A = this chain, B = another copy of it.
Amino acid sequence: MLTVALPKGELLKHSIRLLKSVGLDFSAFLEEGNRQLQILDASGKARGLKVRAQDVPVYVEYGQAQLGIVGEDVLREKKPLVARLVDLGFGYCRMSVAVKASCPYKSPLDLPVNSRVASKYVNCARDYFQSLDFPVEIIPLYGSVELGPITGMSEAIVDLVSTGKTLKENGLVEIATLYESTAMLIAHPLSYRLNTDGINDWIDQLREGVTTEQLGVRS
């Protein structure tokens, strides 16, 4: 049976709407008080797993789910061995370098050499500053990265920004964008190549669903 790994949080509602447009109904995941981590879709054709965004590619890489939906940011940070199939268009955000609004740095290259940069995305942050040939010390944090510059622990942060509200509330400003991120449809590479459980049909339908939705938005 087809299994789809869905990310908790921001992307869940959109992911469920997209899957519903191709006949897979996982809306039970959205019911208040529903604590289930796996459910069958209403028609019994597929199984859904609701997991942390960072865990989606793990379930897909190990073949426990043939398909998954996850933000580009997670794929860039974890570099999992999964097939990246369709840009789903929703869940836009960007990975940015931000500093205190009161400081004089207008670009990452203005930072003092060997500055401290706090981030939940240590690989993205490290790769970016290496690509600039600019030495910094990355401080790994799990949450509230904006506290780094506020407490003086770090000169800058690398973090996901969607509306920019959190940065503003904390007196921080963006000075560079590493990349933009949207939700991606991913697949277990072997299942994709061997068309296990007929997943290529589902992929085609989802691709079409996305195109129709995007045309709908434009019209």
Contacts and interface: CB of A to CB of B under 8 A. Distances in A.
Interface stretch (A25-33, A139-147, A192-200): A139-147
Interface in A37-93: 37-38, 49, 51-52, 54-55, 58-59, 62, 64
A139 to B, nearest CB: 6
Contacts of A19: none
Contact of A64 (B142, B143, B144, B153): B153
Nearest to A3: B151
A147 B58 contact: no
Per assembly, the copies of the chain total 2
A203 B151 CA distance: 22
A147 B151 CA distance: 37
A58 B141 contact: yes
Contacts of A51: 143-144, 147
B38 A142 contact: no
A52 to B, nearest CB: 4
A37 B140 contact: no
A141 B55 contact: yes
A216 interface: no
Contacts of A8: 143
A62 B153 contact: yes
A152 interface: yes
A3 B150 CA distance: 13
A143 B38 contact: no
A55 B144 contact: yes
B153 A52 contact: no
Contacts of A150: 37-38
B37 A144 contact: yes
